[in-house]
A = this chain, B = another copy of it.
């Protein structure tokens, strides 16, 4: 049996390449739109919000802008009035029809923001209302758990960071390597079976990552939860240290994510060792040799620098989630209680 989710996971080398081809020619347009706007506000929910977390770190680190995630209720429920003339507002929605995101975009434009829409649907309300629409080339996504639209969103925010960052082509060069790396990971699946077997034990699960990879941890937790119907927590490294580590004991499965390089690997390695010491089963995705050595199950990650690692690092967990859902006898394509476009307020 092939699920639509599996098919869509497998399309990612092509959808990533097509999205980069479509968006990389638009660097000058984005640079011009953002001129004189040192602040960037990202507006999203659910999986798109997890893509926004990557965007937040990347725009700060690579482009030196102040970037933060909006609380849409400030627009939709509290109708805050403040000038956004120093801000670029970036709204992410696969469908382009999530009402509170569309409403927040209109609110921002009315307060002086310039707006960028990142959506998979060219003829959507979000695209129509934006100053610049970055339309993803992910194609129709039928499975409720988003996979290829998520990696395409990551590519779009990376293109935005490239436009606003220093005038060198390093980020762009690395971005262009991501489709081939994703393809390699899909072929190899190293560690996927072992991770599924460990998670099938039904232990309580937590997921952690830090910095540029924090959004990936949140996305893995969300996917496991919605597709495999088990409570999973996605935690930043620091949040875990500040309380939840108290509940880690034998029987907990901890999925830890790290890029192969960058300033977060030593701390994530120390966390892997500490969690192992508390009796947790550590499933390491990515990282370097020391990180892998501190884990009990190792899942191969991408050979990409930290700055673009999230585009590949999510792929092995997508494979794990899809396989785990099937082995649990669940419908990965249409999880209980969820629909493709969530309206936060349905009343």
Interface residues of A, Cβ cutoff 8 Å to B: 38-39, 41, 45-47, 49, 56-57, 60-61, 64-66, 68-69, 71-74, 77-78, 80-83, 86-87, 100, 204, 206, 210-211, 222, 225-226, 229-231, 233, 237-239, 241-248, 263-264, 266-267, 270, 278, 335-338, 342, 344-347
Contact = CB atoms under 8 A, between A and B. Distances in A.
Given A57-B74, A72-B238, A86 B210 contact: no
Contact of A61 (B38, B74, B87): B74
10 contacts: A47-B242, A49-B239, A86-B86, A100-B238, A225-B244, A226-B244, A245-B337, A246-B336, A248-B337, A267-B345
B263 A77 contact: yes
A158 to B, nearest CB: 16
Nearest to A270: B347
Contacts of A69: 68
Contacts of A206: 231
Quickly give the copy total for this chain.
Answer: 2
A86 B56 CA distance: 19
A61 B78 contact: yes
Given A246-B225, A338-B243, A61 B86 contact: no
Nearest to A78: B61
A108 B233 CA distance: 31
Given A66-B39, A266-B347, A342 B241 contact: yes
A38 B86 contact: yes
A119 B336 CA distance: 45
Given A68-B69, A278-B337, 9 more contacts: A39-B66, A57-B74, A57-B78, A60-B78, A66-B82, A66-B87, A73-B210, A77-B264, A246-B335
Nearest to A342: B242
A204 B232 CA distance: 11
Which of A73, A78, A226, A346 has its CB near the most chain B CB atoms (within 10 A)? A73
Contacts of A222: 242-244
Given A39-B66, A57-B71, A78 B247 contact: no
Contacts of A244: 222, 225-226, 231
Contacts of A77: 211, 263-264
Contacts of A38: 82-83, 86
A45 B244 CA distance: 13
Nearest to A245: B337
B344 A241 contact: yes
B86 A60 contact: no
Contacts of A346: 270
A270 B335 CA distance: 22
Contacts of A237: 344
